[in-house]
Amino acid sequence: MSDLDAYLAQLRTSLDVTPARAEVILAETLSHLETKAAELQEAGLSREEAVQAAIEEFGDPKITGRALTRANGRHRTFRRMRRALLVCCLLIAGSAWGFFRFALFRTHLGEGSSGIVTRPQAARATRPKLTSLPRFDPSRWDSHQLEVQGRDLRAFDLQQRRSDLLEASFDSHTQWPADLPASFSPARIMEMGKSPGLGVRALHRKGITGRGVSIAIIDMTLLVGHAEYGKRLRLFEELHSMDKAASMHGVAVASIAVGKTVGVAPEADLYYIADSFFTSNPLPWVSMLWQRLRAPGDPAASATTTKAPSRVVLDMADFRWTARGIRRVLEINRQLPRERRIRAVAIEIGWRPGGTGYREVTAAVEQAKKEGVFVISSSLSNTHGLRFHGLGRKPLSDPERPASYYPVTTWGPGFDKPMLLIPMDSRTTAAPTGGSDYAFYRHGGWSWVTPYLAGLYALACQVKPDITPELFWEKALETGTEPDYSIVPPVSRALVRQKMAIRFDAVAAEARNRQNAEGVQRMLTAKYREATGKPAPEVSEAEFRDLMIEVMADQETKRYTGREARIVTPLKLMEALAPR
Amino acid sequence: MKADPQLVKGTVRLLVLQLLARESMYGYQIIQHLRGRSEGYFQLGEGALYPLLHELEHQGFVRPEWQDQENRPKRRYYHLTGKGGKELARRLEAWRGFTRAVDSVLEARYV
């Protein structure tokens, strides 16, 4: 090894820099030493003497190496220490962040983040072609007769079908013929239906939007990214869900509660638990199929998830899952900071004694009451003693004016006891077929009422954070307006009779399941005496059925002559809760 | 006259920047210029210049560039950067202020 190589080797061992940097330093040092040596050689020194002199001039390799190390970055040991320090800092910061999120706030649902555990796919947008557009029959108990969501109607001549079209439910994917009746504009109807109505948008303009309030919904699967509520969704969990694609029901109720254009509380946070409500037990499914086979077309045997829950749906529901949903909401709530606690849970179904899980869901509601959470379900009159019903509205009437609304009398309870009337029919909601799709539902159900109430309660929580369900209801009734019964569409005696026949048969069938034929007869004659004050006549079973249906129809008609119902007036309600 | 090491230490950075402001140079060339122009006053240890040059490089005051030489090892030339130019101006101003102050004290007449 030459002196030059030996010097460079010593210098290399003194360097504590990256290999690439060491190469640069050694190359530069070699260049310097060679230049210097060449100059000395020109002055008369031998190569060895010149190299030796150049090396001496350059200085001690250890001292030079240390100086070059300092100039070219930190010492490797120092770098290791620095890296270790950085790791420690990150660990400490991570622990502090964890402490902040899990211990201090005890939540993993921070602002801007969410607990969305799955993203169900959008529902199918188009449906098979219709051979003709059905006619709306007002004498039928089922008002959902013209549902043309996703249908292609372009081949139909609808010029003379205005009255039918005004009873139709449709969506963004309904394809209309070019020629429609002049006064029928689907776009206008859909736009008008977007308003929650009754002055709610005026409240929004005043900043009463539900901001800072959280509510929950337990319902069917959601399209989590829909533009209406996607940004308000803080949590989405599937607890007991059988749907792979988003359901029209879940999407609609979420948008009615917190939708940015169609919702009552567009700035409230939403926690959503998906529950299909149905039992996992196969026996009721088999029973339903058997009923359908035995009596095809019988509405009492049609289980549908898209309409007001029928008796069959209730029979097939398992409310133990609903109870678990409520308890899950309470569990999440305990982890949220006090100011972001969930104040209401909307559940778009009701339960009754004897149903599967009735005891569990009732207990869960009681627990929610203790924890300050208002469970708003179709069973509100049973769980809280608070009665409500939905309001009808003609599609082209102004949704802001109370006079546009009328109480629905084709179904639901009478008005002989205090009750709140809530917008329900002719509503536009988010649709499950795409993130910016909408659907217009000409006829609604209590499923459209409970999320409305939850949204309204969120607004009340914003203006009066210490509000209770009882005070909310009391003030809502106090400030509500009496409906104009003169605009209520008349219900035909035939329709009431039809409805009572279904009710009579259901009661009789249920009694038959529990008692013998003699016991059933005794019960029915007692009911007759109770209703009429007269003993039941000695007639055949079929004749008795007809008589009893007439009696029930009389009672039903009387219930609707009461004057205790009040249309909710959100503006007056908020003023009463938080007077200026 | 032998240079005071403390004085050299404080001024060599300024001198190197000033030399590079005139033309780009490689390490040995800088040493030669320092010696030649100061008439041998600045007898800088040759190995001591490179840590300074590398420091200036890391600070962004100079930019190195390898240039090939015929039949000789390639050389690493240093160019003054814009940032280096500003640093030089700042140091020159400080130096001039310092020498003016020192001169005015040394040359003052005491009565």
Q: Tens of pLDDT along B50-105? A: 999 999 999 999 999 999 888 788 999 999 999 999 999 999 998 898 888 888 88
A56-70, A101-115, A131-145, B31-45 — which is least confidently predicted?
A: A101-115
Summarised one tens digit per residue, pLDDT across range A403-426 is: 999 888 777 787 888 999 999 999
Would you say residue A307 has pLDDT above 60? no
The better pLDDT of the pair A364, A529 is held by A364
Interface test with A, best of B30, B44, B50, B62 (most A CBs within 10 A): B50
Check: CB of residue A444 under 8 Å from CB of residue A249: no
- Domain count of chain A? 3
SS3 at position A486: helix
CB A115 within 8 A of CB A141: no
- Give yes or no: residues A472 and A508 share one domain: no
Say whether both A507 and A398 belong to one domain: no
- Decide if A83 is inside a domain: no
Same domain, A482 and A498: no
Among A30, A34, A59, select the one facing B47 at the smallest CB separation.
A59
A286-290, A397-401, A485-489, B35-39: range with lowest mean pLDDT: A286-290
Tell me the shortest Cα–Cα distance from A35 to chain B, in angstroms: 8
Q: Mean pLDDT: which of A169-173, A482-486, B43-47 is highest?
A: A169-173
**Are A482 and A497 contained in the same domain?**
no
- Give backbone dihedrals phi and psi of A118, rounded to 5 degrees, phi first: -155, 155
pLDDT, one tens digit per residue, over A2-35 is 888 999 999 988 888 888 888 899 999 999 999 9
User: What values do phi and psi take at A226, rounded to 5?
Assistant: -60, 140
**How many CA atoms within 13 Å lie on the side-chain side of A249?**
24
Q: What is the pLDDT of residue A105?
A: 38
Asked if B54 lies within 8 A of A68 by C-beta distance, the reply is yes
Q: Mutate which of A28, A33, A66 to disrupt the B interface (most B C-beta within 10 Å)?
A: A28
Within-domain flag for A88: no
Q: What is the pLDDT of residue B43?
A: 73
What's the confidence (pLDDT) of residue A153? 93
Q: Do A31 and B54 touch (CB under 8 A)?
A: no
The helix/strand count (H/E) of chain B reads as 4, 3
| Selection from B58, B18, B59 nearest residue B42 by Cα | B18
Task: Indicate if the pLDDT at residue A341 is higher than 90.
Answer: yes
pLDDT at B36 over 80: yes
What pLDDT sits at residue A305? Answer: 32
Strands (E), A322-413: 342-347, 374-377, 388-393, 405-407
Instruction: Give the residue with greater pLDDT, A578 vs A200.
Output: A200
A434 and A513 inside one domain: no
What pLDDT was estimated at residue A343? 97
Nearest CB to A58: which of B47, B55, B72? B47
**Residue B18 exposed, middle or buried by CB count within 10 Å (0-12, 13-18, 19+):** middle
Give tens-digit pLDDT for A164-182: 999 999 999 999 999 999 8
Strand ordering across the sheet containing A170-171 = A170-171, A438-441, A427-430
A490 pLDDT higher than 80: no
pLDDT above 60: residue A299: no
Mean pLDDT for A468-486 is 93
pLDDT 10s digits, A317-331: 889 889 999 999 999
Confirm whether A177 is domain-assigned.
no
What local confidence, expressed as pLDDT, does residue B51 receive? 92
Residues 67-86 of B with CB under 8 A from A: 72-76
Of A486, A519, A545, which closes a domain?
A486
Question: Minimal CA–CA distance to A127: which of A188, A169, A185, A180?
Answer: A169
Q: How large is the average pLDDT for residues A36-42?
A: 90
Tell me if A71 sits within 8 A of B58, measured CB to CB. yes
The average pLDDT across A555-579 equals 87
Q: How many CB pairs under 8 A join A and B?
A: 66
Give the residue from A203, A191, A335, A350 showing the smallest Cα distance to A268. Answer: A203
Say if B111 falls within a structural domain.
Answer: no
* Domain identity same for A393 and A510: no
Are A109 and A336 in contact by the 8 Å Cβ rule? The answer is yes
Residue A121 predicted with pLDDT over 80: yes
Question: Is the pTM here over 0.80, yes or no?
Answer: no
Same domain for A454 and A508?
Answer: no
Same domain as A256, residue A376: yes
Helices (H), A159-217: 162-165, 186-193, 200-205
Are A453 and A100 in contact by the 8 Å Cβ rule? The answer is no
Helix (H) or strand (E) holding B94: helix B82-106
3-class secondary-structure state, position A488: coil
Q: How far is CA A327 from CA A237, A319, A565, B22, in A?
A: 13, 12, 33, 80
Distance between CA A252 and CA A257 in Å, rounded?
9
A521 in the same domain as A456: no
* Neighbour count for residue A294 (Cβ, 10 Å): 9
B72, A38: Cβ pair inside 8 Å?
yes
Sort out which chain A residues have CB atoms less than 8 A from B76's CB and list them: 24, 27-28, 31
What CATH number should be reported for the domain holding residue A269?
A: 3.40.50.200
Structure tokens at A523: 């019960």
- Say what the pLDDT of residue A550 is: 87
Arithmetic mean of pLDDT over chain A: 85
Whether the pLDDT of residue A337 is over 50: the answer is yes
Contact call for B51 and A64, based on CB within 8 A: yes
Q: Is the predicted pLDDT of residue A379 greater than 90, yes or no?
A: yes
ipTM: 0.89
Question: For an interface test with B, which of A17, A32, A51 has the most B Cβ atoms less than 10 Å from its Cβ?
Answer: A32
Which comes out higher in pLDDT, residue A497 or A460? A460
Q: Give, in degrees to the nearest 5, the angle at Cα A287 between A283 and A290.
A: 140
Instruction: Say if residue A11 is in the same domain as residue A28.
Output: yes
Measured between beta carbons, the chain B residues lying within 8 angstroms of A32 are 27-28, 46, 50
Residue A539: Cβ-neighbour burial (10 angstroms; 0-12, 13-18, 19+):
exposed
The mean pLDDT of B30-39, rounded to a whole number, is: 86
Residue A80 is assigned to a structural domain of this protein: no
- Residue A333: per-residue pLDDT: 93
Measured over the CA atoms of residue A460, residue A466, residue A468 and residue A471, the dihedral's sign is negative
Instruction: Order across the sheet with B72-80: list the strands.
Output: B25-26, B72-80, B62-69
Residue A239 lies in a domain: yes
pLDDT at position A80 over 60: yes
Alpha helices, H only, A99-174: 162-165
Give mean pLDDT, residues A93-101. Answer: 64
User: How high is the pLDDT of residue A321?
Assistant: 87
Residue A128 resides in a domain: no
Which residue type, as a one-letter code, is found at position A14?
S
Dihedral angle over CA of A158, A162, A166, A172, nearest 10: 30
Domain extent at residue B77: 5-106
Residue A9: CA count within 13 A, CB half-sphere: 6
The string over A95-130, giving b where at least 16 C-beta atoms fall within 10 Å of a residue's C-beta and e elsewhere, is eeeeeebeeeeebebeeeebebeeebebbeeeeeee
Domain encompassing residue A37: 3-73
Answer yes or no: do A344 and A427 share one domain.
yes
**Residue B81: which CATH number?**
1.10.10.10
CA B15 to the chain's CA centroid = 3
Domain match, A545 and A411 both: no
Q: Based on the structure, what is the number of domains in chain B?
A: 1
* Euclidean distance between CA atoms A543 and A521, whole angstroms: 13
CA A386-A392-A395 angle, to 5 degrees, is 150
3-state secondary structure of A240: strand
